[in-house]
Amino acid sequence: MKKLLAMTAVAALTLSANVFAQEGEAIYNKACQVCHSMGVAGAPKVHDAAAWEPRLAKGLDALVGSVKSGLNAMPPGGMCTDCTDDDYKKAIEFMSK
């Protein structure tokens, strides 16, 4: 019985972690691909490592800052209304590989 309880607790923890942590690909699909799949208005294209290289050179934190405040044709926050810094990082990591 104790073992069963412990397993239930672990399952519940895993579940709740999934609710809060969004995956990079899911965030990209939801909020970034509109522009980054085709490279709209000069957006670095998804999985185009060469296009991302000079961006990544700024450092991930600077890139998250660009997304949050917006950059030229990119609106502040991309199109994500509920993303944390961590979510942006994951989306950027997904796109830049």
Q: Contact residues for ligand HEC (CB under 6 A)?
A: 27, 31-32, 34-36, 40-44, 55, 58, 63, 66-67, 71-75, 78-80, 83, 88, 91-92
Q: Please name the residue that has the structure tokens 């600077």.
A: 62
What the block records as the tokens of 24 is 């990079």
Question: Amino acid letter at 78?
Answer: G
The nearest distance, CB 17 to ligand HEC, in angstroms, is 21
Q: Which is nearer to ligand HEC, 13 or 40 (CB)?
A: 40
Q: Which is nearer to ligand HEC, 5 or 41 (CB)?
A: 41
The nearest distance, CB 30 to ligand HEC, in angstroms, is 8
Other Cβ atoms within 10 Å of 30 Cβ, number: 17
Q: Which is nearer to ligand HEC, 15 or 41 (CB)?
A: 41
First-to-last alpha carbon distance for the chain, in angstroms, is 46
The nearest distance, CB 70 to ligand HEC, in angstroms, is 9
11 phi/psi in degrees, rounded to 5: -60, -40
